[in-house]
């Protein structure tokens, strides 16, 4: 029997979470992208023009799952994996450099493939969740969600200066006049301690709401951000809907949903030994995949008022 394919999956986060995934017994704490990937590979057939084949983790493939600090990305790529699975734009950039001579296929979650030049890199494909493009929607739905709890007294935005996703989403928020001004919580660094320092700044006080911009560094610190925000009486609103509670809500495409579309590309690569082409090279997710979500606790507190808003669901 042939050796299982290796999928090198990389995210910005805690190196202690890195592990080899060959079954479903040790998957606590993984980014939701991974669950979407596994779901697609295990349940979806290849195109009808080919024999149906579903992939079994451990038998047909293993996942070399790695999290690392932003500053360590240049050293995280090693070996000759069959596919590199990138969970943010900065990771794709480093994977692009690493594969410049080997042409190992790269699948990444991005928001601006053309602007980043990925569309001209012959071994890179991906999924466009449009996290940058819908920055203003985060703000508007955030205000709708928290307005009935009086959290509009202060609206803070967790922002990583210099990060293209954070800068782009923030620009979209500020593109038209705001009904309530923002107070930026600038993270001046690239690790969790820098996030903690920003939230714990004396200028950040509750009650209020903390709108988190779509940055992989922040996604890797979910539990900590909830903890630090709670200590400052801030309710957290996310740009992805995978882990709303104990926050107040979210608007955007779930990471797990993105992972399923990325899984479609991974399966194509495993079958064909090349990246997909045409409109499947960079899949732009449909508007219907973006959801506005409130926590059940928020729903109970807001009761009838929030139910007036169409498109809202509770978790």
Look at residue 45 in the predicted model and tell me its pLDDT.
62
pTM: 0.90
To the nearest whole percent, how much of the chain has pLDDT over 70? 89
pLDDT digits (tens, 9 = 90+) for 118-160: 989 999 999 998 889 999 999 998 888 876 555 556 789 999 9
Find out whether 296 and 258 touch, Cβ atoms under 8 Å.
Answer: no
Of the candidate ranges 13-27, 60-74, 301-315, the one whose mean pLDDT is the lowest: 301-315
User: Smallest Cα–Cα separation from 287: which of 314, 313, 311?
Assistant: 311
User: Which ranges of the chain does DSSP label H, i.e. alpha helix?
Assistant: 32-43, 73-76, 89-98, 113-116, 135-146, 164-173, 192-199, 216-219, 222-231, 255-272, 296-302, 304-307
Mean pLDDT of the 78-83 span: 95
Look at residue 298 in the predicted model and tell me its pLDDT.
65
Whether the pLDDT of residue 228 is over 60: the answer is: yes
Look at residue 1 in the predicted model and tell me its pLDDT.
43
Q: Residue 229 and residue 248: Cα distance in Å, rounded?
A: 11
Find out whether 302 and 235 touch, Cβ atoms under 8 Å.
Answer: no
CA angle 146, 210, 87 (to 5 degrees): 115
Q: Provide CATH 3.40.50.2300 ranges for the chain.
A: 5-131+254-289, 135-252+291-314
Find out whether 155 and 234 touch, Cβ atoms under 8 Å.
Answer: no
Look at residue 91 in the predicted model and tell me its pLDDT.
96
Query: Please, what is the average pLDDT of the chain?
Result: 88
Structure tokens, 106: 């790269």
Is domain 135-252+291-314 in CATH 3.40.50.2300, yes or no? yes
Q: Regarding the domain with residue range 5-131+254-289, which homologous superfamily does it belong to in the CATH classification?
A: Response regulator (3.40.50.2300)
Look at residue 304 in the predicted model and tell me its pLDDT.
43
């Amino acid at each position: 029997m042939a050796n299982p394919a290796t999928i090198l999956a990389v995210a910005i986060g805690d190196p202690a979470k890195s592990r080899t995934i060959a079954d479903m017994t040790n998957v606590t704490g993984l980014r939701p992208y991974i669950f979407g990937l596994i779901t697609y590979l295990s349940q979806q057939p290849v195109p009808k023009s080919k024999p149906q084949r579903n992939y079994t983790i451990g038998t047909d493939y293993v996942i070399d799952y790695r999290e690392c600090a932003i500053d360590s990305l240049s050293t995280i790529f090693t070996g000759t994996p069959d596919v590199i699975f990138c969970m943010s734009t900065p990771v794709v950039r480093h994977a692009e450099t690493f594969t410049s001579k080997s042409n190992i296929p790269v699948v990444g979650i991005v928001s601006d493939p053309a602007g980043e030049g990925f569309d001209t890199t012959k071994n890179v494909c991906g999924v466009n969740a449009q996290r940058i493009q819908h920055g203003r929607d985060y703000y508007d739905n955030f205000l709708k969600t928290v307005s009935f709890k009086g959290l509009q007294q202060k609206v803070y935005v967790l922002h990583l200066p210099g990060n293209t996703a954070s800068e782009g989403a923030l620009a979209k928020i500020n593109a038209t006049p705001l009904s309530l001004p923002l107070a930026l919580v600038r993270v001046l660094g690239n690790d969790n301690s820098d996030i903690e320092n920003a939230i714990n700044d004396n200028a950040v006080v509750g009650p209020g709401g903390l709108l988190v911009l779509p940055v992989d560094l922040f996604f890797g610190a979910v539990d900590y951000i909830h903890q630090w925000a709670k200590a400052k009486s801030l309710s957290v609103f996310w740009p992805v809907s995978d882990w709303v509670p104990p926050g107040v809500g979210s608007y955007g495409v779930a990471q797990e949903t993105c992972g399923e579309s990325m899984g479609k590309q991974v399966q194509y690569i495993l079958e064909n030994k090349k990246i997909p082409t045409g409109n499947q090279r960079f899949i732009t997710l449909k508007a219907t995949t973006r959801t506005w979500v409130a926590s059940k606790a928020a729903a109970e507190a807001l009761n009838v008022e929030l139910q007036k808003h169409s498109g809202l669901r509770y978790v």
